[in-house]
Amino acid sequence: MIVPDFDPPFQDNFRALLRWRRDIRHFRTDPISESVMTQLFADAAMAPSVGLSEPWRFVRVDDPARRAAVREIFLRENTQALAEQGERVAQYAKLKLEGIDRAPVQIAVFADPDPDQGHGLGRRTMPETLAYSAVMAIHTLWLSARAHGIGLGWVSILDPVEVRQVMDVPEEWNFVGYLCLGYPVKDDPVPELEREGWEHRRPMAEKILRR
């Protein structure tokens, strides 16, 4: 097999993909074709995983009743967050609610904490690497979605136990995140939280230590 030449133009395009990967909250309701979704899942499956365990479990949430249940969990948790942290959190949470209401594709992502696949390799002292592997699959899906012009929003203001019950999955599965996918209303290279003054990126040099 010939190894691809990831030349400077490809590297520039890859960096552009990283810059334009955004946590999208404003979606059009246009459907995503099943052929594209099949490709996104196939790309996600190429993510690295500890011991090649592939512990990620993607649950397509098509049932309106289950979506409504997730919405109710979000609203309750958002109310609690507002009581504890104030109006600023509420403004941020409203953006997430719009994703739940409008995104045509919604996915609950779980990690199997003890998959037979992988034979336990690499996770004896750090079993949390199974959840990390699921996060890697989410990020790979996210990049693939962006390359297809599709936005993704990650909803985290949810109760893991209740979401697991709503999705009727094994109780030992660990809830990782709830994803909203759809074509964005508009694209912007600047993250919305930066545009809204919530936070801004710091220089990477501040995050690197040497010992």
Confidence band, pLDDT 50/70/90 cuts, at residue 187: confident
Rounded distance, CA 130 to CA 81, Å?
28
> Is residue 42 assigned to a domain?
yes
Domain for residue 175, yes or no? Answer: yes
Residue 9 resides in a domain: no
Is 3 contained in some domain?
Answer: no
Structural domain contains residue 136: yes
pTM: 0.92
**Residue 4 lies inside a defined structural domain of this protein:** no
Residue 198: what pLDDT?
77
Q: Give pLDDT, residue 80.
A: 80
> pLDDT category, 193, cuts 50, 70, 90?
confident
What's the pLDDT tens digit per position in 70-117?
Answer: 999 998 988 887 777 666 666 665 656 788 999 999 999 999 999 999
Domain CATH for 160: 3.40.109.10
Supply the pLDDT for residue 99. Answer: 87
pLDDT 10s digits, 107-123:
999 999 999 999 999 99
Q: Comparing 29-43, 48-62, 82-96, 186-200, which segment has the lowest mean pLDDT? A: 82-96
8 A C-beta contact, residue 136 and residue 50: no
pLDDT of residue 119: 94
**Residue 205, domain member (yes or no):** no
Task: Confirm whether 35 is domain-assigned.
Answer: yes
Mind giving me the DSSP string for 23-83? B---B--PPPPHHHHHHHHHHHTTS--GGG---EEEEE---HHHHHHHHHHHHHHHHHHHH
Q: Is the dihedral of CA 123, 127, 132, 136 positive or negative?
A: positive
Q: Name the domain count of the chain.
A: 1
Q: Give me the domain span that covers residue 87.
A: 24-185
